[in-house]
Amino acid sequence: MHTYVKLAEGADPRTLEGKLSGFVSHHFGTGMLVHMTYHFQPLTRMHLYSNQDCGLDWFGDIRHVYIFSSIALFILLIACINFTNLATVRSAGRAREVGLRKVVGGSRSQLIGQFLGESFIQAAGSLLIGLVIVKLALPGFSDFLGVPLSLMASGHGVVLLGLAGMICLFGAVSGSYPAFFLSKYRPVDVFGRATATGKGGLLRKSLVVTQFAISIVLIVCTLVVYGQIDYIRDKDLGFNAGHIVTMGIFSEDYDLIPRYRTVKEAFLEHPNVTHATASLNVIGMNTDGAGIVVEGSPDLRKLEMIAADEDFFDTFGLDIV
């Protein structure tokens, strides 16, 4: 049972939380405090922090958000490195353009603005193409996950502001080095064929090494995750999990629970149903339990239990130890 408390205006949750131990000890005894602690959790944190904080229903995990966000940032970083490498490789071809513009009076700041502008335009174009792909793939991905997904889930203003920030950030990151590197060429160096590329070559090599390192890390992480999923899929769980469908028979007034045998027999009349059972809990999701103390040991241990009928073992293929 989850307990919800509405605090008064201006109340400090931490102050009230400090009194929970005394409250529980007074009403339920000190045994409740041996292996459990009690905390308040704002409803706004319930979706992503329940499993870590207070053990409420697990709707999501903030760690998954961090993981997938980090992967996306790494992929974007690789794209920025690719853009920078291509721009620096093409620097020899654009050196004459820089030299000519400086000869006719172009300043370095104008050249920097030109190259950064090109980078921003390319970033905006890439973002538009990505949005089109997401828009086309989103319905199918939503059906696959069974969750309604929307680009504007956080509101148009927040999404547009985030997209504009991405254009500015990645446009600047990918275009800053080519802009400052190309704009420093002097006409005498360009037309005298004395363009220095030592530092640029060193940076390109560093970027290539960084790109390969990130790619290797992502590939290794993918293989590790795949191996874990494959291990879980093939692991012997001790019961037969295949071809078993679980459904609840609860109604608003719980009138079906006393008549679960009628529901069970109705399923067994179907030719494609070989076994049927009823239990108050689903294997692997939640269980009932009771605290027990082993004789001669002061430790309190929890005994996990699942209340079920007599066909539970045959349906799940369980062997009694």
- 113-161 confidence digits (pLDDT tens): 888 888 889 889 988 998 899 889 888 888 877 778 877 665 677 778 8
Residue appearing with tokens 């008064």: 8
CA distance 45 to 200: 48
pLDDT at 238 over 90: no
Least confident of 7-11, 89-93, 214-218, 264-268: 89-93
The answer on pLDDT for 220 being more than 90 is: yes
- How much is the pLDDT for 192? 60
Residue range 58-76: mean pLDDT, rounded:
83
The pLDDT value given to residue 135: 87
Name the residue with higher pLDDT: 284 or 170. Answer: 170
Among 19-28, 72-81, 112-121, 257-266, the minimum mean pLDDT is found in 19-28
Which phi and psi (to 5°) does residue 5 adopt? -125, 130
Residue 244 has pLDDT above 90, yes or no: no
CB contact at 8 A, 290 and 305: yes
Q: Is the pLDDT of residue 61 over 60?
A: yes
Q: What is the pLDDT of residue 299?
A: 74
Residue 53: pLDDT above 50?
A: no
pLDDT, the chain, mean: 79
| Angle between helix 156-182 and helix 108-145 axes, rounded to 10 deg | 140
Cα 301 to Cα 179: distance, rounded to the nearest angstrom: 66
Q: How high is the pLDDT of residue 51?
A: 58
**What share of the chain has pLDDT > 70, as a percent?**
82
**Which residues share a beta bridge with 301?**
292
Confidence of residue 55 (pLDDT cuts 50, 70, 90): very low
Q: What is the mean pLDDT of residues 30-48?
A: 73
Amino acid, res. 311: D
Which pLDDT belongs to residue 304? 80
Q: For 54-81, what is the mean pLDDT?
A: 78
What local confidence, expressed as pLDDT, does residue 56 receive?
A: 46
| pLDDT grade for 223, boundaries at 50, 70 and 90 | very high
pLDDT higher than 70, residue 58: no
Q: What does the pLDDT read at residue 227? A: 92
Q: What is the pTM of this model?
A: 0.61
Q: Supply φ then ψ for residue 157, to 5 degrees.
A: -60, -45
In the beta sheet, which residues pair with residue 290? 303
Give the span between the Cα atoms of 60 and 46, in whole angstroms. 9
Section 247-276 average pLDDT: 79
pLDDT bin (cut points 50, 70, 90) of residue 98 is: confident
Summarize the confidence of residues 230-247 as an average pLDDT.
83
